[in-house]
Structure 1
Amino acid sequence: MKQYFITGCLIGIAAIGNLSAQSPALRVYKMNTLKQAQSFFHYKGKNKQIISGHRGGITKGFPENSIETFENTLKYTEAFYEVDPRMTKDSVVVLLHDATLDRVTTGKGNISDHTFAELQQLRLKDRDGNVTAARIPTLMDAIKWSKGKTILNLDNKGVAFETIAKIIRESGNPLVMLTIHSPEQARFYLDQNPESIFSVHILSKKSFDAYEAAGIPWKNMIAYIGPKFTPENRELLKLLHGKGVMCMISAAPTTDKLTDEAERAGGYRAIFSEGADILESDLPIEVAAAIKKK
């Protein structure tokens, strides 16, 4: 019996070692403060190509805007994530892109018509409509999970800025990026925390001039300049780089839609070669593979 017990233990230890070897470590960002993030996202002329997972990424078996997907992506590549905070009927802020439940959950109707407890009875679906074990996460849980791993970029889906700021303060993790559409929105968050970092929509010279006139610090932001390169945003790229601002192109509505994987990979590489510092994609794992192949 003693021999069987020892043998069993050795087998168990070997099995645990095997599982550890098969589970890749997460590829995390080694930063813990907003000042470190400002330095990381500062354009220096020869920056590392950075990947942003749109809604965390869209992968078979892993639903968008879920902690399970965030973690899965980090097994393959460093990335930060654009996510979508929305409010439930009982004022809990959760992550879900759509205002309705139908497309990505097993439920139906408006998210604002359901309490958080009701939403927890649902399951999230992957990109093909397959039901997964994942549930809708709260923004608070997602921010707490991201600490020491990555950065969440919070899109504006109608949740009051005061509510977002309160959740960030209470989470114990200030390392959160905020999508901003105007200097006034940036100023609100800067009044809360002067070190706040933003993903700013700058799609025209007029918009660039507005941020300059308002005195919003360029060191606090990255700039989204569109879904593809155009003559206008190539000029913006130069202006923003001159201010030390990294520029982001989103492949979600463009290159991600190509049906051929090799063609997508070539498109991702082209976006970076044309000067983008950050590529936002529904397929961050594919983007990472395309860069590695190059």
Structure 2
Amino acid sequence: MILKSLLFSICLLVILPLQAQSKPRIISLAPHLAEIVFALDAGEQLVATSEHTDFPEAAKSIRTIGNSHSLSLETIIGLEPDIVLAWRTGNPELQLQRLADLGITIFYSNPASITDLLEEISDIANLIGAKQTAQQVIKQLAQDVERLRQQYAARKPVNVFYQIWHQPLRTVGNDPWLNELLATCGGQNIFRNLAQSFPLVGYEAVLHKNPDAILIPYKETPSKRTPSKETPSKETLSNEKQSQETNHWQQWHQIDAVKKGHISQLNPDWLHRFTPRIIQGLEQLCKTLDAVREANEH
């Protein structure tokens, strides 16, 4: 009996460390990648993240090792990651190559569509050992997106100017990600045919296109109310932000969106980050455009 107990204890000492080692150590180099890892219930495997990684709350306590411009290679190497999740267009290419040359496994994220996002979630899950959770996440997200597509497919299109920045005035051109999100809700980007993803444009060009709505991505500060799925689709910008983001439109009252007050804010983290939270962004976007649609019908 004593011998059996001793053998059992020895087995535990051998097996438990092996089980712990079976979960790869992960470094995320973009907020959306850390968010995906948490969505796959693997947040405890993250040993480092990048600046601006702020969701979920637990992600804020993980050490950061750089940003989109520069990475601390020495720190990354010292953490001995099994996998580095990188953003192909959002991380320093030369530094990533140095990590790859050292034999570190790097997964490159570069989704251009919702389908790409679903595939990336699956690929990341395969790398980090979260296949079962991924199946549930992917199925739910795909169903939710399809539900919205069907709900708004027959609605009258709403012409949209999507303001990325106000000084200088920058918008969305042929960027496939944001154009797909707009189209899902029956929105049409008035500059979707421009060759650049995020071009600078003039106010006269916006006036010529005469959009029904002007959409402004704006992240609330912690002291202000954070938008949610239940938030009314047409929100009033805070006084401070309204001064910065919307006052420059008031002299262009010939534009229908300005004349009718269809200038709305959206949560950029929900729309601009490639994560399952895009469904929250789509819900907010669709409600916003539907409010404009209904107002124009009366």
* TM-score under structure 2 length normalisation: 0.27
Question: Which structure dedicates a bigger proportion of its chain to helix?
Answer: 2
* TM-score under structure 1 length normalisation: 0.27
